[in-house]
Structure formats: structure tokens, C-alpha cells
Amino acid sequence: SAVISQKPSRDICQRGTSLTIQCQVDSQVTMMFWYRQQPGQSLTLIATANQGSEATYESGFVIDKFPISRPNLTFSTLTVSNMSPEDSSIYLCSVEAQGLGQGSTDTQYFGPGTRLTVL
């Protein structure tokens, strides 16, 4: 399985500031995904990040609020901009095993998450 790390693991931020979350994979992958999990809720896809192209955002999420970078095949960042308490969530990145060259499986692996609290 893929080894996926995220930084920071948690943070407490002030309203109006921005936080950049990093996701590092130990193998090259084409697609990386960013999810949000609000307190007590399930996961919702924010965007898909492909290397060399603009991220594709899901309904309800916009680039101005959640800019994403994908500078290479092992790394991506998600920025939560102009934060409000409603942005308090766990943010997770994921990759497909297929993209890791692990056969034809469509299994997705997730990073450990970044727990964000906005005051």
C-alpha cells in the first residue's frame, strides 16, 4: 500500500487567515484527491489534482477558497483561504492504488488527515 503523509497533522488558526496543507506520496501518482470531513460528518470530495493541469473542483468548492497546487507526481498542497469557523474540519488527501502501479485495483489510500480548528 502507498505511504501517504500530511503536514501539519493538526492546527488551530485564527479567523481570516489561511493554512496550506501538504500531502506527500512515496510513489508517483497521476491523480490525487482532496476530501473534507466536517465534525461528525462523512467525507466530501473537494477536488481532484492532476499534475500539469488545473485542479477540478466539485460543486460547492471554488479555487479562490481552496487553491490547490500539484507541482510533481508525488506532492500536492491544499490551501484553506480566509478561514472561518465553518472550515473547521479534517482534510484528507488520497491516491488510487492503480496509479501506484499496484495492478488493476481501484483501491484508494488515504493520508492520516489534517485536523483544522478555526477560532
Partner 1 sequence: SQQGEEDPQALSIQEGENATMNCSYKTSINNLQWYRQNSGRGLVHLILIRSNEREKHSGRLRVTLDTSKKSSSLLITASRAADTASYFCATDRTGGKLIFGQGTELSVKP
Instruction: Kindly list the residues in this chain that would bind partner 1 in the complex (CB under 8 A).
Output: 1, 31, 33, 37, 41-45, 48, 58, 90, 92, 94, 96, 98, 105-113, 115
Distance from C-alpha of 91 to C-alpha of 81, rounded to nearest angstrom = 13
Query: In terms of CB distance, is 54 or 82 closer to partner 1?
Result: 54
39 prior amide bond cis, ω within 30: no
Exposed / middle / buried, residue 110 (Cβ in 10 Å: 0-12, 13-18, 19+)? middle
Q: Which is nearer to partner 1, 41 or 82 (CB)?
A: 41
Residue among 3 and 82 whose Cβ is closer to partner 1: 3
Q: Is 55:6 a contact under the CB 8 Å cutoff? A: no
Using alpha carbons only, give the angle 68, 8, 77 rounded to the nearest 5 degrees. 15
Closest distance to partner 1 from the beta carbon of 18 (Å): 23
Residue with smaller CB distance to partner 1, 44 or 82: 44
Tell me the HSE value of 9 on the side-chain side, using a 13 A CA sphere: 3
Q: In angstroms, what is the minimal distance from the CB of 9 to partner 1?
A: 9
Least separation in angstroms between CB 89 and partner 1: 10
Closest separation in Å from C-beta 82 to partner 1: 24
